[in-house]
Structures are given as structure tokens and as C-alpha cells.
Amino acid sequence: MESRGGHPPGKAAVAQALTAVGEGQLAPAGPALAEAPAKGAVPPRVPEGVWRFTAASQDSAVPELRHKVEDLLVRQAGPGRRFDDELLQSVLLIVSELVTNAVRHAALLSPRVGVEIALHGGWLRIGVEDRHPYRPKALAADPDMEHTSGRGLFLVRAVTTEAGGVCDVEPTTDGGKVVWAALPVPRR
């Protein structure tokens, strides 16, 4: 997968660009993410911005947030264009796995889960936020397939790395965390 260069946007840049958003509403990017492209740079095919969705921390949040993200990315590609299929499937897998983890492991302390999508500088960043302080670690593969769960973060890390991206966990100011992955957006 070819990237347009640059570095994945960090949480600080995304947070700086976020505006107050109601539940399930879209928040367009502010000036912090709307930097002018360098002279001769190829403008992004997908408009840049930051969007945030929230849902109750229950099983129905997984398909609900996955569909909202998919609709957003398809809409952002614009009429007559398609969002890169491989990237879209990777993003939807990451959203599903991270939201599932938040619902299963953080719902007691986090009645709502938030998904943030940021497109900036040739990168797409997916962040899933909850209020639980536990910082998960990707589990090693289970060669004997003894466990039927616990592979979600390992899968997120593998998909992200294969795409040439990065992922991490960051604390939030309220004591929770954001688990995020940033993937390069391929040129078309």
C-alpha cells in the first residue's frame, strides 16, 4: 500500500480540531487539520476532517458504529468515486474489534463508547474511546487455539502493521483511554 507521506495524526492534533459534538453528529475539521497543501502536492481525493460518533456501551453499538463509519467513508469519497476497498475493510474490522473490546471490557465504567475518524495528511486515524483506565495490550497468537477470545487487539495490530500504519493506546484527561490506529490512505 502506498502512502502519501507524512506522519499519522496524533491525538493532540485530532483533539485540537474537534468541536463540541452531539451524539451521533458529524464534526467537520477545524483549522488545525485544514493545513494548506505544499506547492505541487497532490490534493487528497477524500476530503479531510474529523468526525465523532457515540453509542451506548452494549452489543448493538458494534454494528451501529461500524455502519456509521462505513456510511461516512463512502459519503466522503464523493459521487461517482469509491473509497479504497482494502482500506475500507481494514477500517471496518478495526472499528468492530475496538468497539467490541470497549463494550466487553469497559462498559461498567463507560456507559458510552465513542468512535473518532480523522482524515488528514494522507492518513486515516480511527480512535475508540472509553472511560475505563485499563490499558490493553495486544495478546500473542494462541497457537493451540485454546482461547476463543482475546485476539482482537492482536488482529488490529496485524492489520494496521500490514497496511503500513501504527496503533497505540493513550490516556484521556478523564482517566479513560483511546485505542487508535492510523492507516495510510493510498493514492489513486
pLDDT tens digits along 127-139 = 999 999 988 765 4
Mean pLDDT of all residues in 61-69: 98
Q: Closest Cα partner for 30 from 42, 17, 41?
A: 17
C-alpha span between 98 and 150 (Å, rounded)? 12
What CATH code is assigned to 59-184?
3.30.565.10
For residue 32, what are the contacts with CB-CB under 8 A and spacing of at least 6? 13, 16, 17
For residue 14, what are the contacts with CB-CB under 8 A and spacing of at least 6? 33, 50, 116, 118, 125, 127
Q: Name the pLDDT band for 165 (thresholds 50, 70, 90).
A: very high
- Return the pLDDT at 36: 33
C-alpha span between 154 and 112 (Å, rounded)? 24
